[in-house]
Amino acid sequence: MLSGKNILIGITGGIAAYKICELIRMYKRMNANVRVVCTPNALNFVTKLTLQNLSQNDVGVEEFNIEQYKPEHISYADEADIMVIAPATANTIGKIANGICDNLLTSVVCAFNKPIIIAPAMNCGMWENEFVQENIMKLVNAGFYIMEPESGFLACGYEGKGRLCSLDKIYDKTVELLSVNKILSGKKVVITSGGTIEAIDTVRYISNYSSGKMGAALADVAYEMGADVILITTKDVQKPYGVVKVKSAIDMKDAVEREYDSSDCIIMAAAVADYRAKNIADYKMKKSESNEISIELIKNPDILKSLCEMKQKEAVAVGKGSSVLNIEPHKSPVIVGFCAESENLMENAKIKIAKKGCDYLIANDISRKDIGFSSDYNEVSVISKSGTIKNLSKATKKEIAKQIFEEIYG
């Protein structure tokens, strides 16, 4: 996977810098081309000669090299397919998050427009510092891949979170990002996620246990595959792509329909409540003397079905020859639904795809504890309108998301 790839490693001045010698060897063993840029402080922990020998390349530290005609930060940024900053100190993280470029490494980052992995390592108190955390959130929002530090015994003598994550994790993330197929580039993908929240009064609501993880994984992967992504969700999330926060099924329907015309693919991964309270009290309802109360519920609109009906109408209009008007017909989006069942999964899924009229239905068994709701794993079947079935075996939700897009667009 890494053969011939250009990996730029950025090393900053933390004690974990010595571990990066092994990371360079791991990449080199797979025939990657490795170049290293260091902050001047990094060289207090590891020598330039070591890094040069391991990477078999010059090591960049100085920003202004008078023997080079090209500005160095631009050439480093142009040549690399990916940048890996490890260890990343609180200082360098702060500079990157605030656009400061006062050395070669930070200037390269500023000019870099490909994936950047950041593996922080620092004292646990520094990691917990609210400004450091604010900077990390800024980087997450801007699309940097942060490798969370691990907990344990730290070089400074403290016990806590701050150790550089394992080199295997950094290596695997590098492989994952370099093997992403940009099959969604130029496409707009809209994804819904989370359980809808249906108000009863000003303080109470009806909802469900959906974690929103499958929808978020689909959105993350679509983004990595080059799509313009909109995630319509009931959860609080910070992402480097568009997020629309909604509460109820009605809000979600409005938000999705607003995106319909401009989207190429809509995936309804949200757990939309089937019913909502008929009357929502605009005050906090009082406890009554009675042991029982009733809340009258009415059916929510079926968002997926109504999207499929919109698509059907477009197909009919095009069929009737609306293009005679010389208007380019709207290219209807691919519509994908989810089918969460606890019994007779495939039978119900086949009935559902026909009833809803969507192009694909992703069927998952929510009776299993090891996958589905709240889990980071899933195991699904992708059923198409034409009747094909592709079973995707148990994997992380991100891996499943990748395989779903490959099934639809591959």
* Catalytic residue ranges: 156
CB atoms within 10 A of CB 404: 26
Nearest of 299, 406, 302, 301 to residue 360 by alpha carbon: 406
CB atoms within 10 A of CB 296: 8
Helix-helix angle 397-409:213-224, to 10 degrees = 60
Binding-site member from 124, 154, 225, 304 for ligand C5P (CB under 6 A): 304
Binding-site member from 274, 309, 347, 376 for ligand C5P (CB under 6 A): 274
Closer Cβ to ligand C5P, 89 or 300, answer by number: 300
Q: Is 338 in the site for ligand C5P (CB under 6 A)?
A: yes
Q: DSSP alpha helices (H): ranges in 81-238?
A: 90-97, 104-111, 124-128, 130-141, 167-178, 213-224
Smallest gap, in angstroms, from Cβ of residue 257 to ligand C5P?
11
Tokens at residue 8, please? 């730029």
Backbone angles phi, psi at 105, to 5 degrees: -60, -50
Closer Cβ to ligand C5P, 10 or 337, answer by number: 337
Closer Cβ to ligand C5P, 32 or 335, answer by number: 335
Residue range at the interface with ligand C5P (CB under 6 A); choices 17-25, 26-34, 35-43, 300-308: 300-308
Closer Cβ to ligand C5P, 168 or 274, answer by number: 274
CB atoms within 10 A of CB 157: 7
Q: Is 303 in the site for ligand C5P (CB under 6 A)?
A: yes
Binding-site member from 224, 302, 314, 365 for ligand C5P (CB under 6 A): 302
Dist. CA 243–CA 372, nearest whole Å: 23
Binding-site member from 8, 119, 270, 371 for ligand C5P (CB under 6 A): 270
Q: Is 174 in the site for ligand C5P (CB under 6 A)?
A: no
Q: What is the Cα Rg of the chain in Å?
A: 25
Smallest gap, in angstroms, from Cβ of residue 362 to ligand C5P?
8
Q: Is 218 in the site for ligand C5P (CB under 6 A)?
A: no
Smallest gap, in angstroms, from Cβ of residue 274 to ligand C5P?
6
Q: Is 337 in the site for ligand C5P (CB under 6 A)?
A: yes
Q: Are 248 and 196 in contact (CB under 8 A)?
A: yes
Q: Is 347 in the site for ligand C5P (CB under 6 A)?
A: no
Q: Are 337 and 359 in contact (CB under 8 A)?
A: no
CA distances from 318 to 263, 329, 331, 342, 356 (A): 18, 7, 10, 39, 21
Residue with tokens 């010595």: 18
Smallest gap, in angstroms, from Cβ of residue 190 to ligand C5P?
12
Residues 84-123 that bind ligand C5P (CB under 6 A): none
Smallest gap, in angstroms, from Cβ of residue 184 to ligand C5P?
20
Q: Is 339 in the site for ligand C5P (CB under 6 A)?
A: yes
Binding-site member from 9, 124, 249, 404 for ligand C5P (CB under 6 A): 249
Closer Cβ to ligand C5P, 146 or 346, answer by number: 346
Dist. CA 24–CA 231, nearest whole Å: 36
Q: Is 372 in the site for ligand C5P (CB under 6 A)?
A: no
| Beta carbons within 8 Å of 231's beta carbon, 6+ residues apart | 191, 192, 193, 215, 216, 219, 237, 239, 241, 242, 243, 244
Residues 22-41 that bind ligand C5P (CB under 6 A): none
Smallest gap, in angstroms, from Cβ of residue 353 to ligand C5P?
10
Closer Cβ to ligand C5P, 136 or 256, answer by number: 256
Residue range at the interface with ligand C5P (CB under 6 A); choices 131-139, 266-274, 286-294, 368-376: 266-274
Q: Is 380 in the site for ligand C5P (CB under 6 A)?
A: no
Q: Is 229 in the site for ligand C5P (CB under 6 A)?
A: no
Bridge partners (DSSP) listed for residue 199: 205
Exposed, middle or buried, 133 (CB in 10 Å: 0-12/13-18/19+)?
exposed
What is the Cα 321 distance to its own chain's centre? Answer: 41
Q: Is 268 in the site for ligand C5P (CB under 6 A)?
A: yes
The contact set with ligand C5P (CB under 6 A) reads: 249, 268, 270, 272, 274, 300, 302-304, 337-339
